Structure 1
């Protein structure tokens, strides 16, 4: 979640990608420059199923929606996207999120311990 515009729903798609061995092409209502591919390794693979989703930023609409595209159009988008960006949430991003979550949990435990000690001293 350290990456800009990376949210919990996006990480859920990464987890689904890992579990189901699939990938997601996410078309953004803000334009092709905001299109993302979510896959196991951050790269498009022709031999792995690819599902197409639409994305509306949180202040605009439904967030993620299912899209049905003609296969030829989807393949053209995937080739264009893969050649231009290759951008995705990767395993490294997931690990960074896990580390941040662990750090936050430890910080919360430390805060609770300090509050308890402060209460006892009063």
Structure 2
């Protein structure tokens, strides 16, 4: 997903596309990996002095609900990134910098074998650790 696709989706669902909303989307499109609401506020404060956490969280929740952003939890805090919808994959997530690396291997075939009487609706597979750059520090 990119900013243009996200704006189009917002319009289709009847949401206004304000400058703040566009800037939030652009931030996540340009970010390399997961980012927190605090990261976003620090970025937006340069343009929107006094922007509130409420505004940020309301938009982050909306974008997540609409499938524009995906979330994960790192160190007890929610992190967000632009949703990758081009193909099925999973992520390695750096616990220090939030960068991600796509993992094309999916363990679901093995999991389905051990849960054959269960109705699996969805799944999420993430690996956490340190990226090569953060290991050097």
TM-score using structure 2 length: 0.25
Q: Could you say which structure has the higher helix fraction? A: 1
TM-score using structure 1 length: 0.28
Greater RCO structure (CA 8 Å; 6+ sep): 1
Which of 1 and 2 has greater Rg? 1
